[in-house]
Amino acid sequence: MWVKICGNTSLEDARGAAEAGADALGFVFAPSKRQVTVEQVAVITPHLPEQVEKIGVFVDASFEEIAHAVEVAGLTGVQLHSAVHSGLATRLRARFGPDFRLLQVIHYQQELTSQLTAVRQNTAIDGVLIDSRTATLVGGTGVRFDWPAARRALAASAEGLKIVVAGGLDPINVAEAIATLQPWGVDVVTGVEAAPGRKDHAKVKAFLENARIAASKLNTPISV
């Protein structure tokens, strides 16, 4: 189970999540209560373990903006909140190579099957992150979606895709999410915070522990 702890704004929080066993750390470059700058992240990433992925979160950002952030802030992957057909993923794959993590976000509120089909057609994308959205927020909502309904859509159309589940996860419900959706990975922000942009280290640790326990009870992920 790939676990990403997102919305890091300080070295202390990012290091704490890495030490607790996170596979990936997220940094939100989009307007948000957790927004960070390229310069801030550039001084954090050199102090993090090399094997821990450093993922930049971008909402409708340009190729130039993302490429600049990757290079200056030392990112190893990106999470794209952009149209699947924007061409961004293809350009980023060409620029940063086969090992670069490229996650495409889709929202549960729109029809899942057609979105999954569109993602599958783009070979540059290696993972699809399913999240909730609200009238005002495209991420970091703290709101979960209808997991049993999503499970039915995923069973029909997720084959070959690395599915990452996000949206309203916390240390208590992450086990249910994993058991229901059998994803390749999970991602969290709000559910492990003490305040927006500040981690609750006990919650981060509990989230990781509970995700690992739930994953150990699964046979195989639903997707790959």
Ligand X SMILES: O=C(O)c1ccccc1N[C@@H]1O[C@H](COP(=O)(O)O)[C@@H](O)[C@H]1O
CB of 59 or CB of 67, closer to ligand X = 59
**At its nearest, how many Å lie between ligand X and the CB of residue 114?**
21
**At its nearest, how many Å lie between ligand X and the CB of residue 223?**
17
Catalytic residue among 13, 23, 126, 131: 131
CB of 92 or CB of 186, closer to ligand X = 186
Distance of alpha carbon 196 from the chain centroid:
17
The amino acid that residue 137 corresponds to is L
- Calpha distance 163→221 (Å, rounded): 9
**At its nearest, how many Å lie between ligand X and the CB of residue 42?**
19
Catalytic residue among 6, 13, 170, 187: 6
Q: Are 87 and 66 in contact (CB under 8 A)?
A: no
Q: 112-140 burial string, b = 16+ CB within 10 Å, else e?
A: beebbebbbebeebbbbbbbbbeeeebbb
CB of 33 or CB of 91, closer to ligand X = 33
**At its nearest, how many Å lie between ligand X and the CB of residue 117?**
21
**At its nearest, how many Å lie between ligand X and the CB of residue 161?**
16
- Output the residue with the shortest Cβ distance to ligand X: 139
Catalytic residue status for 6? yes
CB of 100 or CB of 145, closer to ligand X = 145
Catalytic residue status for 131? yes
DSSP for residue 108: T
Residue 198 exposed, middle or buried by CB count within 10 Å (0-12, 13-18, 19+): middle
Query: Where along the sequence are the contacts to ligand X (CB under 6 A)?
Result: 6-7, 26, 28, 30, 32-34, 57, 59, 79, 81, 129, 131, 138-142, 166-169, 187-191
Residues 6 or more apart whose CB falls under 8 angstroms from that of 188 comprise 4, 5, 6, 166, 169, 170, 174, 207
- Calpha distance 44→15 (Å, rounded): 9
Residues 6 or more apart whose CB falls under 8 angstroms from that of 97 comprise none
CB of 110 or CB of 220, closer to ligand X = 110
> Which residues carry out catalysis?
6, 131
